[in-house]
Structure formats: structure tokens, C-alpha cells
């Protein structure tokens, strides 16, 4: 595996490859990331993984500081997976060029965009830069971060003529979605997160449509869960899978949740 830290070296290395699959990550490589890498490797071309903990997408300094990092372990895992390229630039390298700034419209300020001011602007900013350098035609991203996937498709897929391949959420036996942030959770919180995930999965399963309306109110469940587990839920909402709207559930829909436990913010969807 070639480890590349500069845009100059990156250009030199991959300029001749037409089929580079790109898997952007913030490291702490786990089975969720591995599934994206495998999906890329199932195509013929080479795979480039990036590890960059992007400061502009953290709306809290402390969250950025305590985000789990373990580059040595990540390199070990990526080598074992036979990844061809790892791009691991520093912040200066990524932000040394001027680039378009993204602004979300009011209608996109929902779910995490409502609770993490500037977060997705930061995500779009860094993805715009990474895509400019890497010029991949195939991007692999997880449904675990469904709103991120939705916004990348909306804002960047046309500009870069890139296929955004969405990959299903990988969970552990306890039903918790894998996430680098899980490393920050205490045992007791992992148990609670597991129970919450099982419960929400059940709710999704039980949910019923009446015409295009959902006969289900989540506000009672939200209160009950907050009380039972002593957590703060930012949102617990069913939304249309295609446009993330709150109504018209004729198409597929998902149950979206974000909550804080142990001072760690977890998101998931079912």
C-alpha cells in the first residue's frame, strides 16, 4: 500500500488510473469502513482510502479533540485489506487552496443540519476538495450517515460526474451501528445503545402506512426513551427516504435518530 500525504504525490500516483474507487473516512477503521472498501474492490479498479479528521465539520472543538485516532492500527488494517493507496494529508495540505463554499438552504436544515450548525457545510467543503484532487468516478459511502450521503449526491455528484455508491449500515451483534465514536462509550452506555437500537428497529418494523400517511407519532416514544435511558434525543423522526421530507411516505421511509449519551453524539437510521 502506498501512503500519500501530499496532493502533488497523489496526482503523480493516480493520474493514469481511470477506475479508482474512493472511500473517504476519518479513520478508526472498522467493519463499516471495510464494507465500503470491499464494495470498491469488487469493481476492477484500484482503491484509494482517505483518512482525514476534518476540523471544519466539527461544530464543537472538544468533539474534534477527542475524536478517536489510531493511524498505526488503521495502516495495519488497510494493508491487510490490500488497499492500494492511503491518502492521509494534514489540514494545511487540504485547505491551502481556495475553493467554493457551500451554504445549505433552509429546506436542508433538518435532522443533523438543524442541530450541528455548519457541520454539513464542512463536510461538503472537504469532499469538494478531496474530489477535486482524487477525481474518482466511484465514491463509496455508508447509509449509516444517510443525510451526508443525500447531501453529497445532491451537491457534488453532478459537479464531479461521480457515481455515489451507497452501502448498507454494518452493525455488531448488539445491533449497534459501527462507528469510530463508539470507542468513547462506557460499557453501560453501549448496553443502552444496544437496547435503543433494538427498540427502534422494532418500531420501524411495526410502523404502518394509511394511504401516504404514517399512523405513528414518535413524540411519546422520544419522551419515554429519554426518561428510561437518561439521554437527550435531538430528533426521532420518520422521513421519506428519497427527499428526506416529513410527509408522503408512499415511497420508502426511514426512522432517523440522533442522541447524546456519555457526552457522545450517536446517529442511526432504520
Residues taking part in catalysis: 33
Helix (H) or strand (E) holding 208: none
Part of the chain binding ligand AMP (CB under 6 A), chosen from 13-21, 72-80, 142-150, 250-258: 142-150
Asked if 156 interacts with ligand AMP (CB under 6 A), we say: no
Nearer Cβ to ligand AMP (153/222): 153
Asked if 129 interacts with ligand AMP (CB under 6 A), we say: no
- Closest approach, Cβ 173 to ligand AMP, in A, equals 13
Per the CB < 8 A criterion, the answer to whether 36 and 140 are in contact is: yes
Per the CB < 8 A criterion, the answer to whether 102 and 121 are in contact is: yes
Q: Which residues contact 245 (CB under 8 A, 6 or more apart)?
A: 239
Q: Which residues contact 160 (CB under 8 A, 6 or more apart)?
A: 131, 132, 135
Nearer Cβ to ligand AMP (129/144): 144
Helices 119-134/7-14 angle, 10° precision? 50
Per the CB < 8 A criterion, the answer to whether 127 and 25 are in contact is: no
- Closest approach, Cβ 49 to ligand AMP, in A, equals 9
- Closest approach, Cβ 141 to ligand AMP, in A, equals 4
Among 36, 49, 151, 264, binds ligand AMP (CB under 6 A): 36
Nearer Cβ to ligand AMP (95/221): 95
Report 177-236 residues binding ligand AMP (CB under 6 A). Answer: 177-180
Q: Strand 232-240 relative to strand 253-261: parallel, antiparallel, unpaired?
A: antiparallel
**Separation of alpha carbons 201 and 218, rounded Å:** 13
Residues within the interface to ligand AMP (CB under 6 A)? 25-26, 32-33, 35-36, 141-142, 144-145, 167, 169-170, 177-180
Amino acid at each position: 500500500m502506498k501512503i500519500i500525504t501530499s496532493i502533488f504525490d497523489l496526482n503523480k500516483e493516480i493520474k493514469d488510473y481511470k477506475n479508482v474507487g474512493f472511500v473517504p473516512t476519518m479513520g478508526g477503521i472498522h467493519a463499516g469502513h471495510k464494507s465500503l472498501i470491499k464494495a470498491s474492490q469488487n469493481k476492477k479498479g484500484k482503491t484509494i482510502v482517505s483518512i482525514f479528521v476534518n476540523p471544519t465539520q466539527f461544530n464543537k472543538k472538544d468533539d474534534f479533540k477527542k475524536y478517536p485516532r489510531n493511524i498505526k492500527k488503521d495502516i495495519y488494517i488497510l494493508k491487510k485489506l490490500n488497499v492500494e493507496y492511503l491518502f492521509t494529508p494534514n489540514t494545511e495540505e487540504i485547505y491551502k487552496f481556495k475553493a467554493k463554499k457551500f451554504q445549505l438552504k433552509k429546506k436542508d436544515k433538518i435532522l443533523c443540519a438543524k442541530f450541528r450548525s455548519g457541520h454539513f457545510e464542512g463536510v461538503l467543503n472537504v469532499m469538494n476538495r478531496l474530489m477535486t484532487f482524487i477525481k474518482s468516478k466511484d465514491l463509496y459511502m455508508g447509509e449509516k450517515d444517510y443525510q451526508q450521503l443525500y447531501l453529497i449526491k445532491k451537491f457534488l455528484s453532478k459537479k464531479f460526474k461521480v457515481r455515489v455508491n451507497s452501502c448498507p449500515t454494518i452493525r455488531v451483534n448488539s445491533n449497534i451501528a459501527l462507528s469510530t465514536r463508539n470507542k468513547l462509550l462506557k460499557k453501560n452506555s453501549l448496553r443502552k445503545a444496544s437496547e435503543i437500537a433494538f427498540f427502534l428497529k422494532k418500531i420501524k418494523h411495526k410502523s404502518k402506512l394509511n394511504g401516504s400517511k404514517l399512523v405513528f407519532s414518535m413524540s411519546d416514544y422520544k419522551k419515554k426513551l429519554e426518561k428510561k435511558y437518561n439521554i437527550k434525543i435531538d430528533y426521532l423522526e420518520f422521513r421519506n427516504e428519497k427527499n428526506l421530507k416529513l410527509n408522503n411516505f408512499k415511497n420508502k421511509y426511514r426512522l432517523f435518530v440522533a442522541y447524546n449519551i456519555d457526552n457522545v453524539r450517536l446517529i442511526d437510521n432504520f
